[in-house]
Copies of this chain bind each other. A is one copy, B any other.
Amino acid sequence: MKNLVIGLAALALSPAACAEEAPASAPSPNEIVAAAPPSDWVQIPAEDLLVMDLAPDAEGNQRRVVIQLIPAPFSQGWVHNIKLLAKSGWYDNISVNRVQDNYVVQWGDPNYDNPEATGETKPLPEGLRVLEETEYVTPPYHDGTGRVLRVHGAKDTYADWARISSKGWPIAGTEQGSSWPVHCYGMVGVGRNYSPDTGSGAELYTVIGHAPRQLDRNIALVGRIIEGMEHLSSLPRGKGELGFYADFEKDRRTPIRQVRIASDLHEIPQPAFEYLSTESESFAKYAEARANRRDAFFIHPAGGADICNIPVPVRRIPGE
Protein backbone atom coordinates (compact mmCIF):
# COMPACT_ATOMS: atom_id res chain seq x y z
CA MET A 1 0.00 0.00 0.00
CA LYS A 2 3.03 2.29 0.01
CA ASN A 3 3.09 5.25 -2.36
CA LEU A 4 -0.64 4.96 -2.79
CA VAL A 5 -1.08 8.52 -4.02
CA ILE A 6 1.71 8.29 -6.56
CA GLY A 7 0.38 5.02 -7.84
CA LEU A 8 -3.08 6.44 -8.30
CA ALA A 9 -1.95 9.56 -10.07
CA ALA A 10 0.08 7.58 -12.56
CA LEU A 11 -2.85 5.30 -13.23
CA ALA A 12 -5.45 7.93 -13.92
CA LEU A 13 -7.65 6.72 -16.78
CA SER A 14 -6.33 3.16 -16.60
CA PRO A 15 -8.59 0.24 -15.76
CA ALA A 16 -7.53 -2.11 -13.04
CA ALA A 17 -5.81 0.49 -11.00
CA CYS A 18 -3.97 -0.92 -8.08
CA ALA A 19 -2.49 0.39 -4.92
CA GLU A 20 1.01 -0.92 -5.55
CA GLU A 21 4.03 1.19 -6.31
CA ALA A 22 4.08 2.44 -9.89
CA PRO A 23 7.20 1.77 -11.96
CA ALA A 24 9.19 4.84 -13.01
CA SER A 25 7.54 6.26 -16.10
CA ALA A 26 6.57 9.31 -18.17
CA PRO A 27 3.82 11.58 -16.81
CA SER A 28 0.22 10.69 -17.58
CA PRO A 29 -2.07 13.11 -19.44
CA ASN A 30 -3.76 14.04 -16.14
CA GLU A 31 -0.40 14.75 -14.50
CA ILE A 32 0.55 17.04 -17.40
CA VAL A 33 -2.74 18.93 -17.00
CA ALA A 34 -2.28 19.21 -13.22
CA ALA A 35 1.22 20.68 -13.77
CA ALA A 36 0.11 23.33 -16.30
CA PRO A 37 0.81 26.89 -15.07
CA PRO A 38 -2.18 29.18 -14.35
CA SER A 39 -1.32 31.22 -17.44
CA ASP A 40 -2.17 28.24 -19.65
CA TRP A 41 -5.82 28.35 -18.57
CA VAL A 42 -8.47 30.51 -20.25
CA GLN A 43 -11.67 31.54 -18.46
CA ILE A 44 -14.91 30.77 -20.26
CA PRO A 45 -17.18 33.85 -20.51
CA ALA A 46 -20.17 33.60 -18.15
CA GLU A 47 -22.40 34.47 -21.13
CA ASP A 48 -21.38 31.15 -22.74
CA LEU A 49 -22.36 28.97 -19.76
CA LEU A 50 -25.82 27.43 -19.69
CA VAL A 51 -26.65 26.20 -16.17
CA MET A 52 -29.32 23.49 -16.03
CA ASP A 53 -30.70 22.37 -12.66
CA LEU A 54 -32.46 19.01 -12.63
CA ALA A 55 -34.80 18.04 -9.83
CA PRO A 56 -32.86 16.54 -6.90
CA ASP A 57 -32.27 12.78 -7.07
CA ALA A 58 -34.07 10.17 -4.94
CA GLU A 59 -31.65 10.84 -2.07
CA GLY A 60 -32.23 14.59 -2.25
CA ASN A 61 -28.87 15.42 -3.86
CA GLN A 62 -28.72 18.48 -6.12
CA ARG A 63 -28.10 17.76 -9.81
CA ARG A 64 -26.58 20.64 -11.76
CA VAL A 65 -25.44 20.29 -15.38
CA VAL A 66 -23.29 23.03 -16.95
CA ILE A 67 -23.08 23.41 -20.73
CA GLN A 68 -20.45 25.51 -22.49
CA LEU A 69 -22.02 27.07 -25.59
CA ILE A 70 -19.93 26.95 -28.75
CA PRO A 71 -18.28 30.21 -29.88
CA ALA A 72 -18.32 31.71 -33.37
CA PRO A 73 -18.20 30.82 -36.19
CA PHE A 74 -20.26 27.72 -35.42
CA SER A 75 -24.03 27.46 -34.88
CA GLN A 76 -24.44 31.05 -33.68
CA GLY A 77 -28.06 31.23 -34.88
CA TRP A 78 -29.04 28.36 -32.62
CA VAL A 79 -26.93 29.69 -29.74
CA HIS A 80 -28.89 32.97 -30.08
CA ASN A 81 -32.14 31.00 -29.76
CA ILE A 82 -30.89 29.00 -26.77
CA LYS A 83 -29.95 32.16 -24.88
CA LEU A 84 -33.38 33.61 -25.66
CA LEU A 85 -35.13 30.42 -24.50
CA ALA A 86 -33.09 30.44 -21.28
CA LYS A 87 -33.71 34.14 -20.56
CA SER A 88 -37.44 33.76 -21.21
CA GLY A 89 -37.65 30.82 -18.78
CA TRP A 90 -39.01 28.55 -21.51
CA TYR A 91 -36.79 25.62 -20.49
CA ASP A 92 -38.06 25.68 -16.89
CA ASN A 93 -40.22 22.65 -16.04
CA ILE A 94 -39.45 20.68 -19.18
CA SER A 95 -37.95 17.18 -18.75
CA VAL A 96 -35.48 14.55 -19.92
CA ASN A 97 -37.61 12.39 -22.21
CA ARG A 98 -35.21 10.06 -23.95
CA VAL A 99 -32.19 8.01 -22.86
CA GLN A 100 -30.90 5.64 -25.55
CA ASP A 101 -27.90 3.52 -24.56
CA ASN A 102 -24.63 4.23 -26.40
CA TYR A 103 -26.32 7.13 -28.19
CA VAL A 104 -28.06 10.18 -26.71
CA VAL A 105 -29.92 11.71 -23.76
CA GLN A 106 -32.53 14.18 -25.01
CA TRP A 107 -34.52 16.85 -23.14
CA GLY A 108 -37.23 19.33 -24.03
CA ASP A 109 -41.00 19.52 -24.21
CA PRO A 110 -42.24 15.98 -23.49
CA ASN A 111 -45.00 16.45 -26.07
CA TYR A 112 -42.73 17.55 -28.93
CA ASP A 113 -41.06 15.10 -31.28
CA ASN A 114 -41.97 12.23 -28.99
CA PRO A 115 -43.62 9.02 -30.12
CA GLU A 116 -45.01 8.71 -26.59
CA ALA A 117 -46.59 12.20 -26.61
CA THR A 118 -50.06 12.45 -25.09
CA GLY A 119 -50.61 16.22 -24.69
CA GLU A 120 -50.24 19.58 -26.37
CA THR A 121 -46.88 21.17 -27.10
CA LYS A 122 -45.66 24.18 -25.12
CA PRO A 123 -45.77 27.43 -27.15
CA LEU A 124 -42.35 28.83 -28.05
CA PRO A 125 -41.42 32.46 -27.32
CA GLU A 126 -41.35 35.17 -29.99
CA GLY A 127 -38.09 36.10 -31.65
CA LEU A 128 -36.58 32.68 -32.40
CA ARG A 129 -34.57 32.53 -35.60
CA VAL A 130 -35.27 29.97 -38.30
CA LEU A 131 -31.94 28.57 -39.46
CA GLU A 132 -30.83 27.09 -42.78
CA GLU A 133 -29.18 23.70 -43.25
CA THR A 134 -26.23 25.47 -44.82
CA GLU A 135 -25.41 26.73 -41.33
CA TYR A 136 -24.52 23.23 -40.10
CA VAL A 137 -21.11 23.93 -41.64
CA THR A 138 -18.96 27.01 -42.09
CA PRO A 139 -16.63 28.04 -44.87
CA PRO A 140 -13.10 26.64 -44.38
CA TYR A 141 -12.17 27.55 -40.84
CA HIS A 142 -8.66 28.88 -40.44
CA ASP A 143 -8.99 29.73 -36.77
CA GLY A 144 -9.68 33.11 -35.21
CA THR A 145 -6.07 34.14 -35.47
CA GLY A 146 -5.49 32.82 -38.97
CA ARG A 147 -2.79 30.56 -37.57
CA VAL A 148 -2.43 26.99 -38.77
CA LEU A 149 -4.25 24.73 -36.33
CA ARG A 150 -2.48 21.99 -34.47
CA VAL A 151 -3.10 18.57 -35.94
CA HIS A 152 -3.50 15.65 -33.55
CA GLY A 153 -3.50 12.40 -35.46
CA ALA A 154 -3.09 12.48 -39.21
CA LYS A 155 -6.02 10.21 -40.02
CA ASP A 156 -9.74 10.78 -39.51
CA THR A 157 -12.33 8.31 -40.79
CA TYR A 158 -14.98 10.95 -41.42
CA ALA A 159 -13.20 13.95 -42.89
CA ASP A 160 -10.02 15.13 -44.59
CA TRP A 161 -8.86 16.46 -41.24
CA ALA A 162 -9.93 16.71 -37.60
CA ARG A 163 -8.35 19.17 -35.16
CA ILE A 164 -8.80 20.84 -31.82
CA SER A 165 -9.40 24.49 -32.70
CA SER A 166 -7.53 27.35 -31.05
CA LYS A 167 -10.72 28.10 -29.12
CA GLY A 168 -10.73 24.57 -27.75
CA TRP A 169 -13.31 22.69 -29.83
CA PRO A 170 -13.17 19.49 -31.89
CA ILE A 171 -13.73 20.37 -35.54
CA ALA A 172 -13.34 18.55 -38.82
CA GLY A 173 -13.41 19.55 -42.46
CA THR A 174 -12.56 19.00 -46.07
CA GLU A 175 -9.39 20.25 -47.73
CA GLN A 176 -11.01 23.07 -49.65
CA GLY A 177 -14.66 22.91 -48.69
CA SER A 178 -16.16 23.38 -45.29
CA SER A 179 -15.62 22.93 -41.54
CA TRP A 180 -17.92 21.67 -38.80
CA PRO A 181 -17.92 20.72 -35.11
CA VAL A 182 -17.68 17.02 -34.22
CA HIS A 183 -20.12 14.75 -32.32
CA CYS A 184 -17.89 13.61 -29.45
CA TYR A 185 -19.01 12.28 -26.06
CA GLY A 186 -20.71 15.07 -24.11
CA MET A 187 -21.28 17.38 -27.10
CA VAL A 188 -24.72 19.02 -27.14
CA GLY A 189 -26.87 19.27 -30.29
CA VAL A 190 -30.24 20.56 -31.42
CA GLY A 191 -33.03 18.05 -31.98
CA ARG A 192 -34.93 18.60 -35.19
CA ASN A 193 -37.64 17.22 -37.40
CA TYR A 194 -37.19 16.02 -40.97
CA SER A 195 -35.31 18.23 -43.40
CA PRO A 196 -35.72 21.12 -44.16
CA ASP A 197 -36.51 21.64 -40.46
CA THR A 198 -33.32 22.55 -38.57
CA GLY A 199 -34.62 22.74 -34.99
CA SER A 200 -35.12 25.83 -32.87
CA GLY A 201 -32.89 24.98 -29.90
CA ALA A 202 -35.83 24.11 -27.65
CA GLU A 203 -35.05 20.39 -27.98
CA LEU A 204 -31.48 19.45 -27.00
CA TYR A 205 -29.48 16.22 -26.64
CA THR A 206 -26.04 15.09 -25.57
CA VAL A 207 -23.93 12.13 -26.69
CA ILE A 208 -23.58 9.34 -24.08
CA GLY A 209 -21.69 6.73 -26.11
CA HIS A 210 -19.22 6.22 -28.91
CA ALA A 211 -19.02 9.31 -31.12
CA PRO A 212 -21.96 9.17 -33.60
CA ARG A 213 -20.03 11.01 -36.30
CA GLN A 214 -22.72 10.18 -38.88
CA LEU A 215 -24.63 13.09 -37.33
CA ASP A 216 -21.89 15.61 -38.20
CA ARG A 217 -23.15 18.11 -40.80
CA ASN A 218 -26.68 16.80 -40.30
CA ILE A 219 -27.55 18.56 -37.04
CA ALA A 220 -26.43 21.76 -35.33
CA LEU A 221 -23.93 21.25 -32.50
CA VAL A 222 -24.20 24.06 -29.97
CA GLY A 223 -21.97 23.15 -27.04
CA ARG A 224 -20.67 20.54 -24.65
CA ILE A 225 -21.27 19.46 -21.09
CA ILE A 226 -18.44 20.57 -18.81
CA GLU A 227 -19.88 19.60 -15.41
CA GLY A 228 -22.54 17.16 -14.21
CA MET A 229 -22.44 14.83 -17.23
CA GLU A 230 -22.98 11.89 -14.88
CA HIS A 231 -26.42 13.22 -13.96
CA LEU A 232 -27.51 12.56 -17.56
CA SER A 233 -25.36 9.59 -18.62
CA SER A 234 -26.40 7.43 -15.66
CA LEU A 235 -30.16 7.94 -16.08
CA PRO A 236 -32.22 4.79 -16.65
CA ARG A 237 -32.52 3.91 -20.33
CA GLY A 238 -35.99 4.38 -21.84
CA LYS A 239 -37.92 1.32 -22.93
CA GLY A 240 -39.96 3.07 -25.66
CA GLU A 241 -39.09 3.61 -29.31
CA LEU A 242 -35.62 5.16 -29.74
CA GLY A 243 -35.08 5.14 -25.98
CA PHE A 244 -37.95 7.50 -25.18
CA TYR A 245 -39.57 6.74 -21.86
CA ALA A 246 -42.66 4.72 -22.69
CA ASP A 247 -46.10 5.63 -21.44
CA PHE A 248 -45.94 3.13 -18.55
CA GLU A 249 -42.68 4.63 -17.26
CA LYS A 250 -43.42 8.33 -17.68
CA ASP A 251 -42.46 8.90 -14.05
CA ARG A 252 -38.84 8.20 -15.07
CA ARG A 253 -38.69 11.51 -16.95
CA THR A 254 -36.32 13.68 -14.94
CA PRO A 255 -37.81 17.16 -14.35
CA ILE A 256 -35.68 20.15 -15.31
CA ARG A 257 -36.35 22.85 -12.76
CA GLN A 258 -34.50 25.79 -14.24
CA VAL A 259 -32.08 26.68 -17.05
CA ARG A 260 -30.23 30.02 -17.04
CA ILE A 261 -27.20 31.70 -18.57
CA ALA A 262 -24.57 31.86 -15.78
CA SER A 263 -24.28 35.65 -16.05
CA ASP A 264 -28.00 35.92 -15.21
CA LEU A 265 -27.76 33.82 -12.05
CA HIS A 266 -28.04 35.63 -8.73
CA GLU A 267 -25.55 33.35 -7.00
CA ILE A 268 -22.39 34.18 -5.08
CA PRO A 269 -20.03 32.93 -6.30
CA GLN A 270 -21.32 32.57 -9.85
CA PRO A 271 -20.30 29.30 -11.53
CA ALA A 272 -16.99 29.88 -13.33
CA PHE A 273 -14.88 27.58 -15.49
CA GLU A 274 -11.65 27.62 -17.45
CA TYR A 275 -10.17 25.41 -20.17
CA LEU A 276 -6.58 24.50 -20.93
CA SER A 277 -5.53 26.73 -23.82
CA THR A 278 -5.15 24.54 -26.87
CA GLU A 279 -2.40 26.92 -28.02
CA SER A 280 -0.33 26.19 -24.92
CA GLU A 281 2.70 23.96 -24.63
CA SER A 282 0.89 22.09 -21.86
CA PHE A 283 -1.92 21.17 -24.23
CA ALA A 284 0.54 20.01 -26.89
CA LYS A 285 2.18 17.72 -24.31
CA TYR A 286 -1.21 16.52 -23.08
CA ALA A 287 -2.40 15.67 -26.60
CA GLU A 288 0.85 13.87 -27.36
CA ALA A 289 0.54 11.87 -24.15
CA ARG A 290 -3.07 10.95 -25.00
CA ALA A 291 -1.84 9.64 -28.36
CA ASN A 292 1.19 7.85 -26.87
CA ARG A 293 0.66 6.73 -23.31
CA ARG A 294 3.99 6.09 -21.67
CA ASP A 295 2.86 6.23 -18.05
CA ALA A 296 3.34 3.19 -15.88
CA PHE A 297 0.33 1.11 -16.87
CA PHE A 298 1.04 1.07 -20.60
CA ILE A 299 3.23 -1.24 -22.67
CA HIS A 300 2.45 -0.21 -26.27
CA PRO A 301 1.84 3.51 -27.01
CA ALA A 302 -1.03 3.72 -29.52
CA GLY A 303 0.72 5.99 -32.02
CA GLY A 304 -2.33 8.23 -32.43
CA ALA A 305 -5.63 9.36 -30.97
CA ASP A 306 -8.89 10.15 -32.69
CA ILE A 307 -10.32 13.62 -32.27
CA CYS A 308 -12.85 12.47 -29.63
CA ASN A 309 -10.15 10.78 -27.58
CA ILE A 310 -8.43 14.10 -26.79
CA PRO A 311 -11.06 15.85 -24.66
CA VAL A 312 -10.11 19.44 -23.89
CA PRO A 313 -9.48 19.77 -20.13
CA VAL A 314 -12.04 22.02 -18.41
CA ARG A 315 -12.17 22.75 -14.67
CA ARG A 316 -14.17 24.79 -12.22
CA ILE A 317 -12.62 27.99 -10.90
CA PRO A 318 -13.02 27.86 -7.13
CA GLY A 319 -15.24 30.62 -5.73
CA GLU A 320 -14.31 33.07 -2.98
Q: Is the CB of B15 within 8 A of A215?
A: yes
Per the bound structure, the CA–CA distance linking A75 and B217 in Å amounts to: 39
Q: Is the CB of B213 within 8 A of A306?
A: yes
Q: Chain B contacts of A303 at CB under 8 A?
A: 158
Q: Is the CB of A113 within 8 A of B18?
A: yes
Q: Which of A156, A194, A211 has the most CB of B within 10 A?
A: A194
- Determine if A192 is an interface residue (Cβ-Cβ < 8 Å): yes
Q: Is the CB of A309 within 8 A of B213?
A: yes
Per the bound structure, the CA–CA distance linking A219 and B219 in Å amounts to: 36
Asked if A156 meets B155 with Cβ closer than 8 Å, knowing A199-B16, A214-B298, the reply is: yes
- Determine if A168 is an interface residue (Cβ-Cβ < 8 Å): no
Per the bound structure, the CA–CA distance linking A155 and B101 in Å amounts to: 26
Given contacts A102-B185, A214-B305, 18 further A-B contacts (CB under 8 A): A13-B103, A15-B103, A15-B215, A17-B114, A17-B115, A18-B193, A22-B194, A101-B233, A133-B299, A153-B157, A158-B304, A195-B297, A195-B299, A211-B306, A213-B302, A214-B302, A217-B299, A230-B236
